[in-house]
Amino acid sequence: MNILRSTMQAFRRIQVQGLLVAIVVLGVIMSFASDSFLTSTNLINILYSSTILAVVAIGQTFVILVGGIDLSVGSMIALSSVLSVGLVVIGGLPVGLSIVLTLLVGVAFGVAHGLAVTKLNMPPLIVTLASLSLASGLAYVYSGGKNIIPVPEFFRAIANAQMFGGKLPVFIPFAIIIAVISYFVLAKTSFGRMIYAVGGNKTAARLAGIPANRIIIIAFVISSLSAVIGGLMMTVRLQSGSPIIGVGMELTVIAAAVIGGTSLFGGQGNVVGTLLGVILLTMASNAIVLLAIPPNYDKVFTGLVIALAAGLDIYRQRKDTRSMTRLTKRSTTNSVLSDKQTVNKQGA
Partner 1 sequence: MKKAMSNLAVLMLMAAVVLAGCGSNNNSPSNQPQTPQQENTPGTNEGGASGEQSPEGKTVAFPLMGLGFEFMVMLNDSAKAVAEAAGMEVKVFDANVDPNKQAEQMQSIIATKPDAILLSSVDGALIVPSIDSATSQNIPVFGVESKILGGDYLTWVGYDNYAAGAMAADYIAEKVGEAGGTVLEQRGLVGGTGADLRSEGFNEQMKKYPNFKVVTLNNEWIADKAFSNTLDAFTAYNDIVATFSANDEMLRGVVSALQNLGRDKKVGEEGHIVMVGVDGTPTGLERIREGIQDASLNQDAKLMGEMGMERVVKYFQGETEFERDTMIPPSIIDINNVDDPELWGNIMAQQSN
Partner 2 sequence: MTLLQAIDVHKRFFGAVALEGVHFELEAGEVHALLGANGAGKSTLIKIISGYHAPDSGEILINGNSMRTNSPAASHAAGIATIHQEHNLVPHMSVIDNVMLGRWPGRFGVVSVEESRRKAKEAVSRVVPGLDLNLLGHQLTPAEGQLIEIARALSEDARVLIMDEPTTSLSPREVERLFKVMRELKKQGIGIIFVSHWLEEIFEICDRVTVFRDGRYVGREFIKDIDENQLVRMMVNTDVPEVPPVERKPGKEILAVRNLNKTGVLENISFSLREGEILTLAGLVGAGRTELVRCIFGADKYDSGEVLIEGKTIRRNSPSTAVKAGIGFIPEDRKGQGLVGLLTVRENFTLSLLDLVAPGGLIRKDREILISKEQSEAMKVKAASFESNIMSLSGGNQQKVIIGRWLARKPKLLILDEPTKGVDVGAKAEIHRLIGQLAESGVAVLLVTSEMPEVLLLSDRVLVMREGRITSQLNRSELSPERVIRYATTEEVITQ
Element (H, E) at 38: none
Among 25, 101, 107, 129, binds partner 1 (CB under 8 A): 129
Residue (of 3, 8, 128, 27) closest to 72 by Cα position: 128
| Partner whose binding site includes residue 190, from partner 1, partner 2, none (CB under 5 to 8 Å by kind) | partner 2
The only residue of 205, 216, 278, 305 in contact with partner 2, by rule CB under 8 A: 205
- Nearest-approach distance from CB 176 to partner 1, in angstroms: 17
92 binds, among partner 2, partner 1, none (CB under 5 to 8 A by kind): none
DSSP, collapsed to helix, strand or coil, labels residue 93 as: coil
Please give the Cα distance from 91 to 112 (Å, whole number): 25
Considering only CA atoms, which of 97, 5, 11 is closest in space to residue 313? 11
Q: Binding residue for partner 2 (CB under 8 A) from 146, 188, 326, 329?
A: 188
The answer to whether residue 342 forms part of the interface with partner 2 (CB under 8 A) is yes
Identity of the residue, 121 or 346, whose beta carbon is nearer to partner 2 in the bound complex: 346
- Dihedral sign of CA atoms 128, 267, 306, 222 in order: positive
Beta bridge partners of 163: 168
Among partner 2, partner 1, none, residue 36 binds (CB under 5-8 Å by kind)? partner 1
Q: What angle do CA 53, 58, 63 make, to 5 degrees?
A: 125
Residues, the chain, total?
348
Helix (H) or strand (E) holding 41: helix 40-65
**Helix (H, G, I), strand (E, B), or coil: what is residue 241?**
strand
Fill in the per-residue mask, 228 to 267: x = in contact with partner 2 (CB under 8 A), - = not in contact: ---------------------------------------x
- The entry of partner 2, partner 1, none that residue 262 binds, CB within 5 to 8 Å by partner kind: partner 1
For partner 1, how many residues bind (rule: CB under 8 A)? 63
Q: Where are the beta strands (DSSP E) in 256-318?
A: none
Residues sharing a CB contact under 8 Å with residue 237, sequence separation 6 or more, in sequence order: 52, 159, 171
Judged by beta carbon, residue 11 or residue 171, the one nearer partner 2 is 11
Selected range binding partner 2 among 133-141, 170-178, 190-198, 283-291, rule: CB under 8 A: 190-198
**Is position 234 an interface residue for partner 1 (rule: CB under 8 A)?**
yes
What values do phi and psi take at 175, rounded to 5?
-65, -35
201, interface contact from partner 1, partner 2, none, CB < 5-8 Å by kind: partner 2
Work out whether strand 168-169 and strand 162-163 pair parallel, antiparallel, or are unpaired. antiparallel
Question: What are the two backbone dihedrals, phi and then psi, of residue 169, each rounded to the nearest 5 degrees?
Answer: -65, 145
Q: Which residues bind partner 1 (CB under 8 A)?
A: 15, 18, 34, 36-37, 39, 41-42, 45, 48-49, 52, 69, 71, 125, 129, 140, 144-147, 149-150, 159-160, 166, 169, 234, 237-240, 242-247, 251, 254-255, 258-259, 261-265, 282, 285-286, 288-290, 292, 294-296, 298, 310, 313-314, 317
